[in-house]
Chain A
Amino acid sequence: MRDAQGHDADESRREFLKIAAAASALLAIGGIASVMKVVIFPSIPANSLSSFPRVKVVSVASLATGVPVEFSYPLDNEPNYVIKLGTKAEGGVGPDGDIVAYSDVCQHLGCNWGYVAPGRSPKVNSSYVAPGPVGYCPCHGSIFDLTQSAKVVGGPSPRPLPQVQLEVDSSGDIYAVGMGPPSIFGHNTGSNNVADDLQGGTLVTSTSEAS
């Protein structure tokens, strides 16, 4: 578009307009890009409660030895197991001190582990025989000793399972009142800050029953 006569005013005006148009387009694109901010914000508001709810789980009488019962705590999308182990355990409640509860989410990569009674083998690995009540994760074989606060006794899990703190009241009802470290998998995984367990979902209310 070079004019042989070289009309300078016109040409510099054209250049100016070209640059202005390009700048305008970039600003418009940048403006549209900022729309990402509208949708990328965390949608679930942080829970302002900083304390764990007190939730009834089951009654002592309804628990059979070696039969795990699933319940949600402290958020309604976090699964846990409460089990009457049959042997005294660390942190165990109930008349025999053998009722414990742990997060059902393995600390390795987030699979759901299963309970294996002493002397039995998990379905996925018939060559392993549990010496005591353990949790066995079917994904990569992490083994948690449920009598010792879910200490890792085999497999790749780097941390024990978070233990649910239980209380039994005078009428034989078991309540979940807190979680021990580490934090539940997916809640700032690897931190020892149990307050992270309260973020990212809806807290279970105090009137919920075991599922």
Chain B
Amino acid sequence: MTDQEGEGGVAGRVAGWVDSRLGLSHPVLRPVPQYALNPFYWLGALAVVAFVIQGVTGMILMLYYIPSPTQAYSSTQYIFQSVTNGRFLQTVHLYTAYAMIMLAFMHMMRGYFVSVHKRPKEVMWVVGMLMGFVTLGFGFTGYLLPWTVVSYSATHVGVGMVNALPQPLSNLLNFLIVGSGGDAGELLRFFDLHVVILPAVLLVLLAVKMYMLEAHGVAEPTSGASPEAKAKTLPIFPDVTVYVLELSLLFGAGMLLISALFPLNLPAEYSAITAGQATPQPDWYFLWIYQILKVSVFDVGGGLAAALSVVTLVFVVLVILPFIDRGKTRAISRRPVYVTLGLIFVGELVMLSYWGYETPGATIPTEQAALVVGGTALLIALGSLLAYRVLYSRAKVRLQTVPAARLPRTEVRSGLAFTVLVAVGAVAIGTFLNSIVGIALGDYSLASVGLFVMSGTALALDVLGSVYLIYRLDLRTGGIRRKVKALEVGWRE
């Protein structure tokens, strides 16, 4: 019952009693180093806080909601109109859902950039990715429940895609999501998933991840931490608890503010007629998938499966990332390629989401898609590599006074040449892909074959030219060997 504060008699004794009964200052969880009192270390914790808010608001909403196609909308309307503060609860529930998804994404990207997925924490990353899928599942299942025009249409596009997946997966997902078939069965499955099954799965995964976190400890700063820095720790109770509480309360206050400023309005109820007049669009976190599916190259026979394979590939790469990125170095300054790839990933997601939002229902010509996607990647890559040159080569050259970043003329020319090459390359890729489709469909006319040959040649030349340009740039900045090491092939370290 030692109370360090020695605060005034009664308060100290009460605090001591509570502490000795609850064991709050008993070190069950390992103490946290002081450098971890930084919001970026706690994005995952905030996602859990969001989940708790979802649970509380969801439980209250659940008391009034009826998961049957005939009553889903009317019970939601009842919540909006007749339940005291029902609209407020529903607003908080939706915005916190968005916040949870956003926080989970930020948590993942921050982890990627500071290399938490490297040895020995690979499994933590995989479990975390699974939790991310469950979170997206929450969004997907929850979106259908109000049975509005937008929610029904969007969900049905998604469910339809399940049938395009390869066989054992397709049957399993059909069983989970659609059930006995028909609207009533599907809504009930979605409700059960949203309210019981997914929360249970998430909690189990969370427990596993928390256990591993306790075993491994929080991530050190990427530049490494001195033994003294690591020794300066704070106990979980009360210091770290209060800190996390502060972050959570700020988050809660933010949600309250947003819910007060932007109260929700319930869209119209789903009916076949109203659905026919609105273009279905998924919720914002799925817009990037939607955009990929809209590219015209996927309009052919097996196109949907191909598009889904692309999306699945993205997810698979994310999950097995720790086994691709095996380099030992965590410092951002020494991982230019992976950091750039990460920035490109984020940039593409944002760009595709916005683009998807702006073009509902439209098919995107393949060349345009290749150009935009490639162009975004190129711009980000150039910006990132430029930043690396400015920030880190300057850091290495301590004694020389490096003037403000002014690119020498030769490098400007090389940059422009590179831009032209990639632009040409994008058009070439697009044309090439389209010509493949033409030939696959059996069109062996001169125009089709000629297009194939020409675009193929242009593409090949373009790739060679780009590689040569990069090679020359590398030579000038000093040492291919260093650049190869930066690619973190891994087995030399």
A4 at the binding interface (Cβ < 8 Å): no
Is the Cβ of B5 less than 8 Å from the Cβ of A43? no
CB distance from B88 to the nearest CB of A (A): 7
- Residues on A with C-beta less than 8 A from B85 are 38-39, 41
- Residues on B with C-beta less than 8 A from A43 are 64, 82-84, 86
Is the Cβ of A22 less than 8 Å from the Cβ of B84? no
B358 at the binding interface (Cβ < 8 Å): no
Is the Cβ of B5 less than 8 Å from the Cβ of A41? no
Please list 25 pairs of residues, one from A and one from B, whose beta carbons are closer than 8 Å in the complex, sorted by A's number.
A1-B4, A1-B5, A1-B6, A2-B6, A18-B5, A18-B7, A22-B11, A28-B249, A38-B84, A38-B85, A38-B88, A38-B89, A39-B60, A39-B85, A39-B89, A41-B84, A41-B85, A42-B84, A43-B64, A43-B82, A43-B83, A43-B84, A43-B86, A44-B82, A45-B82
**CB neighbors of B among A38-88 (8 A):** 38-39, 41-45
Of all A-B residue pairs in the complex, the 9 with the closest CB atoms, nearest first, are: A41-B84, A43-B83, A38-B85, A43-B84, A39-B60, A45-B82, A18-B7, A1-B6, A43-B82
- Add 17 more A-B contacts to A18-B5, A38-B84, A38-B88 (CB < 8 A): A1-B4, A1-B5, A1-B6, A2-B6, A18-B7, A22-B11, A38-B85, A38-B89, A39-B60, A39-B85, A39-B89, A41-B84, A43-B64, A43-B82, A43-B83, A43-B84, A43-B86
- Residues on A with C-beta less than 8 A from B11 are 22
- Residues on B with C-beta less than 8 A from A41 are 84-85
Interface size class of B (residues with CB under 8 A): 10 to 19
CB distance from A29 to the nearest CB of B (A): 11
- Residues on A with C-beta less than 8 A from B64 are 43
- Residues on B with C-beta less than 8 A from A2 are 6
Interface size class of A (residues with CB under 8 A): 10 to 19
Report the bound CA distance from A45 to B81 in whole Å. Answer: 10
CB distance from B243 to the nearest CB of A (A): 14
A residues in contact (CB < 8 Å) with B = 1-2, 18, 22, 28, 38-39, 41-45
- Residues on A with C-beta less than 8 A from B7 are 18
Give a binary string over B158-182; 1 marks a CB under 8 Å from any A CB, 0 the rest.
0000000000000000000000000
Give a binary string over B81-124; 1 marks a CB under 8 Å from any A CB, 0 the rest.
01111101100000000000000000000000000000000000
CB distance from A77 to the nearest CB of B (A): 14
CB distance from A41 to the nearest CB of B (A): 4
Report the bound CA distance from A53 to B79 in whole Å. Answer: 26
- Residues on B with C-beta less than 8 A from A38 are 84-85, 88-89
- Residues on A with C-beta less than 8 A from B89 are 38-39
Complex: chain B residue closest to A18, CB-CB: B7
Complex: chain A residue closest to B57, CB-CB: A39
Complex: chain B residue closest to A45, CB-CB: B82
CB distance from B454 to the nearest CB of A (A): 68
- Residues on A with C-beta less than 8 A from B88 are 38
- Residues on A with C-beta less than 8 A from B4 are 1
- Residues on B with C-beta less than 8 A from A28 are 249
Give a binary string over B1-37; 1 marks a CB under 8 Å from any A CB, 0 the rest.
0001111000100000000000000000000000000
Report the bound CA distance from A1 to B85 in whole Å. Answer: 48
- Residues on A with C-beta less than 8 A from B249 are 28
- Residues on A with C-beta less than 8 A from B86 are 43
CB distance from A89 to the nearest CB of B (A): 39
Give a binary string over B132-151; 1 marks a CB under 8 Å from any A CB, 0 the rest.
00000000000000000000
Report the bound CA distance from A12 to B6 in whole Å. Answer: 14
- Residues on A with C-beta less than 8 A from B82 are 43-45
Report the bound CA distance from A1 to B60 in whole Å. Answer: 46
CB distance from A143 to the nearest CB of B (A): 37
Report the bound CA distance from A28 to B5 in whole Å. Answer: 22
CB distance from A199 to the nearest CB of B (A): 14
Give a binary string over B52-68; 1 marks a CB under 8 Å from any A CB, 0 the rest.
00000000100010000
Report the bound CA distance from A177 to B81 in whole Å. Answer: 29
Complex: chain A residue closest to B92, CB-CB: A38
Report the bound CA distance from A95 to B241 in whole Å. Answer: 78
Report the bound CA distance from A56 to B4 in whole Å. Answer: 76
> Which interface residue of B4, B6, B85 has the most chain A CB atoms within 10 A?
B85
Complex: chain A residue closest to B15, CB-CB: A22
- Residues on A with C-beta less than 8 A from B84 are 38, 41-43
Report the bound CA distance from A195 to B41 in whole Å. Answer: 60
Complex: chain A residue closest to B79, CB-CB: A43
Report the bound CA distance from A193 to B259 in whole Å. Answer: 42
Report the bound CA distance from A18 to B6 in whole Å. Answer: 11
Report the bound CA distance from A41 to B84 in whole Å. Answer: 7
CB distance from B240 to the nearest CB of A (A): 16
CB distance from A14 to the nearest CB of B (A): 10
Report the bound CA distance from A2 to B6 in whole Å. Answer: 9
Report the bound CA distance from A1 to B12 in whole Å. Answer: 14
- Residues on B with C-beta less than 8 A from A45 are 82
Report the bound CA distance from A44 to B64 in whole Å. Answer: 11
Complex: chain B residue closest to A21, CB-CB: B242
CB distance from A68 to the nearest CB of B (A): 28
CB distance from A188 to the nearest CB of B (A): 21
Report the bound CA distance from A125 to B292 in whole Å. Answer: 70
Report the bound CA distance from A22 to B64 in whole Å. Answer: 38
Report the bound CA distance from A42 to B64 in whole Å. Answer: 13
- Residues on B with C-beta less than 8 A from A22 are 11
Report the bound CA distance from A43 to B89 in whole Å. Answer: 13
Complex: chain B residue closest to A44, CB-CB: B82
CB distance from B3 to the nearest CB of A (A): 11
CB distance from B154 to the nearest CB of A (A): 29
Report the bound CA distance from A43 to B78 in whole Å. Answer: 10
Complex: chain B residue closest to A39, CB-CB: B60
Give a binary string over B241-265; 1 marks a CB under 8 Å from any A CB, 0 the rest.
0000000010000000000000000
Report the bound CA distance from A189 to B114 in whole Å. Answer: 65
CB distance from B6 to the nearest CB of A (A): 7
Report the bound CA distance from A45 to B85 in whole Å. Answer: 12
CB distance from B475 to the nearest CB of A (A): 61
- Residues on B with C-beta less than 8 A from A42 are 84
Report the bound CA distance from A74 to B86 in whole Å. Answer: 26
Report the bound CA distance from A112 to B81 in whole Å. Answer: 32
CB distance from B16 to the nearest CB of A (A): 15
CB distance from A27 to the nearest CB of B (A): 12
Complex: chain A residue closest to B78, CB-CB: A43
CB distance from B60 to the nearest CB of A (A): 6
